[in-house]
Structure 1
């Protein structure tokens, strides 16, 4: 996990059972960007302590996954536990890549990996997570299952996922868009189990609206239809261009709404916050302003998302949601030239210099460039990423937003160290091209 995401966020320890919940990190290889989900160790024949909960978390991760990496220990060799997991994985439709870890020696690693052919999961990839050897070959195979960003951008349809807690009016909102009862509407929470796709045209554009199951708190969800419905909702978020986060005006912003917003942010999706059931609220001149302030305060980490107050029952402002969707999707797909990005960096550094460490070493930003869209992702090449604290990173993100906009979409800044000689060479090459 740490090797693929180039972080040290996952705890590494010889004691089994350290990892319990699912941990999400961003990673990229060549022109592909994706999320890596770290899970706990699987044990099927033991129900003590946290092991049943860990199995549940692994099932959730696998239900969401495009491809799975099954990690085995090359030094320990093939075990009964490996065979049990391999048999379980073959029962699922998710493609599996077999990573044989702890193969520090290329020659010995090849020999160590040969025994894992017995698992019937295809070619074993010998690698060393600590040293990084062999991970490139694994990633080359991995990205075959992940479409390039350009392919996603070429899709003519705008994919809109409608998500929220149970009974906030997601299906009613879908029906209000269509002018027909496409989805079942009921006061009983949990009516929608499947992710329902509906295609609608507005102003010459095609939108695929996906009504999803209401997402309850994890501890309240039993394994079964609701479990799989929620996982289809998470998949809908991942494959969407934009997500409509539906909030109940009566309940206001709840803890579960915050978790859903975090999920949208983790997946890098554009978003519009839709406060539904606005017709049920007693209002005066200042009501909408007070509500908007409260929503922004609670969802402060998504202050880039537009908020709209609607009523799916009366149709109030429902059609205006499409305008906000178009604006957010355009920003989500937008690319900015390297020259403009470096102008923003120079201006930001002029107003606020990078921090200096206690040893007197100052951070330096050499240059930046946008490497992908959906969401807009910029790489900043610096002398040492560790010299830039969280405050300065947030400052740089705010400068990009102030100068370039990006309303309705998250943006990502990747801080990468770069040797001074390489920077000088690249700068000279750019000057020659100009």
Structure 2
């Protein structure tokens, strides 16, 4: 059965330009496979006559927007948000690895997965590319809970067979056997996708990285998910461990781990040769501004990424990141765009920030036209935003004289109160 939703409507064209209808109509319905998709979208005056049989829900004063896409997040790290540390490597040693060791316990993993998805939906995130831990139990909990909620999620077992403490270090051969079994069990099941997930090059042996590359070639429509060039100490460590590689990024090339649907978090300490390699292989960067600011890692070069046509999108990187909120992430990206560039003063337009966390992130994941947008054919996961959710927000948005001013007000002043509903199309219902 068709359903239609009337409110202001935000979506993006193929070039990433925003399209906004003050009085819009979004029409959804099931396709031949039973998947709920956008059938039509545009102004109410133009769309309504084409669907006289659609049941209309009217949300006056609200904005319909695509669900946010988080390109890099660690579901087992939700309890270490805000853990103080001198930098990335001490933070991993003192907080991350001890917390992740708890995910060998299936009951603990399940409880964390349930809270994790509650929080994502509360913040308006409908798809995420997610690190689990090195324990298969964490992956089972992640995918099982996502399947129960009928969400489109991507995740995978972490691979780390060296330079890691007991409790999180895995065994090379068994880690690859477990990864392949999990791919076969979960990849392509319902709305789920598997990501082959070396933690980062220094914590995997050559044999493990080689095995990961072989799996990536064998299962070519999976994702690859890892970290690169986040922190200067980490970059130096990688240089010592892989002296033959031109750069830290080049390590992954040598193991067949750069291709479409490969996503590397951070990508801060890059030169143009690295950016060009990313572009040529259609590998994407997951930009994690709150994490980079919190851990003092450095600044992603948005100007360099745009100049070299390097795929990139936004990510929370919880728990190094300090918030699940896409609004906090977009605002931090704006700060970095203003201050952290080789050519300072770049101003990322509000609509560009929003695109990088929705349709642009979907494009970087190789899922353009499937999610992150409200154009016909996209899966119908969307948000109902209340632009007067707080007194200050109401005062500010009432004075907005353009779409860019409106979106920037929502980015600067928005938080979870702005998300009135998160609608998952497959459920036909709203998750508050």
TM-score (norm 2): 0.28
Q: Which entry has the higher C-alpha Rg, 1 or 2?
A: 1
Q: Which of the pair has the greater relative contact order for Cα pairs under 8 Å at 6+ separation?
A: 2
TM-score (norm 1): 0.28
